Amino acid sequence: MRKIPAPGVNPENKPYFDAAASGRLLVKFCNACRKYHHYPRALCPHCFSDKTEWREAKGTGTVYTYSVLKAVQEPYCICYVTLDEGVTMLSNLVDCDFGKLEIGMKVKAVFQATEGGVPVPMFTPA
């Protein structure tokens, strides 16, 4: 299995990684403009409000785009997934046949350990 570097956990994104450790996917929601956003940050990237909160995502979505990296020792797939909540996040597609991937396919979140032990969300076909 490919080694995943540990993410940089800080006070601003710690709830995100704590939730991932318990198998839950969190996204930020802005109470000012009513939009979700990812990557987690204190200020909304849409309206710059600090009135943001964590919300649990369903953990399901569709593949917006992907790329399979084959010229490496262990091939892997990076992707953008648009969550059912409407926000798009960069991740990896795992536990799947890379030859059968399609844009628009339904996926669900899974959580993979990193070298530092902190799990990160990735996706697999639903």
- What CATH number does residue 62 fall under? 2.40.50.840
Distance CA 94, CA 76 (A): 8
Domains held by the chain: number? 1
pLDDT in tens, 87-121: 999 999 999 999 999 999 999 999 999 998 789 99
Is residue 1, in this structure, part of any structural domain at all?
no
Q: What is the mean pLDDT of residues 78-85?
A: 97
In a domain, 93, yes or no: yes
**Contact in structure between 46 and 33 (CB atoms under 8 Å):** yes
Range of the domain at 40: 14-125
SS3 20: helix
Residue 3 pLDDT: 87
Is 53 inside a domain boundary?
yes
The two beta strands, 120-125 and 106-112, are: antiparallel
